């Protein structure tokens, strides 16, 4: 048989198939099914709108309902319609095809919600979703054409040698997809649990963080175990992995392990909480985030400082808001020996009001005479503020400006360092008087 005859036969077969489809669609039963499918799609849109209106919250469950409401409603209504047509004596082929397409759309939207929950704000996510959509629609098309079983048999016949074992290509593909789906589902469920825990107002933020991380680790472990079981790996292989992990921790991962353990200790004993203003070493800032490995501090300058959890456990930490958010700040001032010290102390107390509402009246501001220094008398004004998270530089500046203004009005002198130079003994004759005067001025 020539190539031209083969092409002619293929074209005739394609034309015959097309004519068969047209003939099938021209029947009254097919037209009734297509009309039923159109009505069901419109009705599913109205039903999904009513359902979605009750799930407007930005939660994982609400996003899930909004994503699958329309295709799931279409699948359910199409299932009822197909049962009705079969009871009437019709096969319901067109309705079955529409139901397959709606179910594929429901699966795609479920995958999209799960991936966005697990891999939030990932740049590669859109590309992966596109490939997954192409793959799902390709499987649906092959199933509709009746070629999917033949493709599976062909993939199962392709054998690959892995050591002493032979594994089919279909087994590898099925195992990889099943493992990926299991791990994604486990991480998705962990994300839902974490959202529920973080939304609870009855738990402390540290307890919420601990339970969220434990649940994520446990579900991820279960997902990995299930994936290994689906692939067909033996669980005894974990003994080798656990031994290698123990050796790695003992040799070179002490710091990492110590940081993780310290993170759980911090979250459990609640000595440091999110929102506390702490100082560790030369770093001071508000606790923004506590992870299992490090803690993020936001300094008053806006810089984020990442502190390893081991440092917070082993070093001295000053927690300014551990039990009470009221913080004392001192403002030192020096006055000359010739001024009225009592009046200066009274003026310092009056100037405390320049700090505004942030300066507490109970306990009240207090001024003290600290020491008799070389150039003057050291005084100090002490005030209490209730919001150290807002910083104290602005309060100090306002009070210092008021002190400067009031001291100038009252004639109280703020001295500066002065020195007298006395020449003991006779002055050498060869030293000019100008040099002596210059040395005294210095």
Residue 431 is predicted with a pLDDT of 61
Going by C-alpha positions, the residue among 108, 88, 84 that lies closest to residue 96 is 84
Q: Each residue of 340-369: pLDDT tens digit? A: 899 999 999 989 888 888 888 888 999 999
> CB 385: neighbour CB atoms within 10 A?
20
Helix axes 169-199, 93-118, angle to 10 degrees: 60
The CATH class for the domain spanning 327-410 reads: alpha beta
Is 63:91 a contact under the CB 8 Å cutoff? no
Per-residue pLDDT averaged across 64-86, rounded? 81
Q: Note the pTM of the prediction, 2 decimals.
A: 0.46
The CATH number that domain 257-319 falls under is 2.30.30.60
Query: What is the rounded CA–CA span in Å between residue 5 and residue 143?
Result: 30
Most confident of 9-13, 414-418, 427-431: 414-418
> CB 236: neighbour CB atoms within 10 A?
7
Residue 107 is predicted with a pLDDT of 79
Handedness of CA 133, 134, 139, 141 (dihedral sign): positive
Place of tokens 């962990």: 190
Helix (H) or strand (E) holding 229: helix 205-231
pLDDT > 70: what percent of the chain? 73
Q: Each residue of 149-207: pLDDT tens digit? A: 777 777 777 777 665 666 677 777 777 777 777 777 777 777 777 777 766 666 666 66
Q: Calculate the alpha carbon distances from 95 to 21, 40, 45, 65, 376 in Å.
A: 15, 10, 17, 24, 97
Residue 219: pLDDT over 90: no
Q: Greater confidence, 312 or 140?
A: 312
Helix axes 169-199, 205-231, angle to 10 degrees: 170
Domain-by-domain residue ranges, the chain?
Answer: 22-146, 257-319, 327-410
Q: Each residue of 91-118: pLDDT tens digit? A: 777 777 788 788 888 877 777 777 776 6
Say if residue 363 is preceded by a cis peptide, omega within 30 of 0.
Answer: yes
């Amino acid at each position: 048989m020539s190539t031209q005859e083969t092409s002619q036969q293929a074209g005739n077969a394609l034309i015959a198939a097309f004519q068969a489809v047209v003939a099938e669609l021209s029947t009254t039963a097919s037209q009734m099914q297509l009309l039923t499918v159109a009505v069901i799609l419109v009705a599913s849109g109205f039903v999904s709108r009513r359902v979605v209106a009750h799930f407007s919250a930005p939660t994982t469950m609400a996003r899930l309902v909004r994503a699958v409401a329309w295709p799931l409603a279409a699948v359910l209504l199409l299932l009822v319609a197909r049962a009705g047509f079969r009871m009437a004596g019709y096969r319901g082929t067109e309705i079955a095809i529409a139901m397959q397409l709606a179910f594929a759309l429901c699966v795609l939207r479920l995958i999209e919600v799960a991936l966005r929950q697990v891999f939030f704000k990932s740049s590669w996510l859109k590309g992966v979703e596109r490939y997954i959509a192409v793959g799902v629609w390709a499987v649906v098309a092959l199933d509709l054409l009746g070629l999917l079983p033949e493709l599976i048999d062909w993939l199962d016949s392709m054998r690959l040698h892995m050591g002493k074992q032979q594994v089919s290509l279909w087994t590898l593909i099925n195992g990889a997809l099943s493992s990926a789906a299991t791990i994604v589902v486990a991480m998705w469920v962990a994300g839902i649990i974490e959202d529920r825990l973080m939304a609870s107002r009855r738990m402390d933020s540290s307890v919420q963080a601990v339970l969220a991380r434990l649940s994520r680790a446990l579900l991820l472990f279960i997902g990995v175990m299930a994936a290994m079981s689906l692939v067909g790996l033996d669980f005894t292989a974990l003994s080798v992995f656990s031994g290698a992990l123990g050796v790695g921790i003992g040799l070179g991962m002490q710091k990492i392990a110590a940081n993780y353990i310290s993170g759980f200790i911090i979250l459990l004993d609640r000595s440091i909480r999110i929102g506390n203003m702490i100082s560790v070493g030369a770093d001071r800032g508000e606790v923004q985030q506590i992870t299992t490995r490090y803690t993020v501090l936001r300094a008053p300058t806006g810089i984020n400082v990442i502190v390893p959890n081991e440092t917070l456990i082993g070093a001295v930490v000053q927690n300014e808001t551990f039990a009470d958010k009221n913080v004392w700040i001192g403002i030192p001032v020096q006055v000359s020996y010739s001024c009225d010290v009592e009046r200066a102390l009274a003026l310092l107390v009056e100037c405390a009001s320049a700090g505004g509402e942030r300066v507490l009246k109970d306990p009240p501001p207090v001024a003290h005479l600290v020491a008799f220094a070389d150039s003057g008398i050291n005084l100090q004004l002490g005030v209490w503020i209730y919001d150290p998270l807002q910083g104290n530089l602005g309060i100090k500046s306002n009070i210092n400006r008021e002190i400067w203004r009031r001291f100038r009005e009252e004639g109280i002198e703020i001295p500066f360092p002065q020195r007298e130079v006395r020449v003991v003994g006779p002055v050498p004759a060869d030293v000019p008087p100008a040099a002596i005067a210059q040395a005294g001025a210095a």
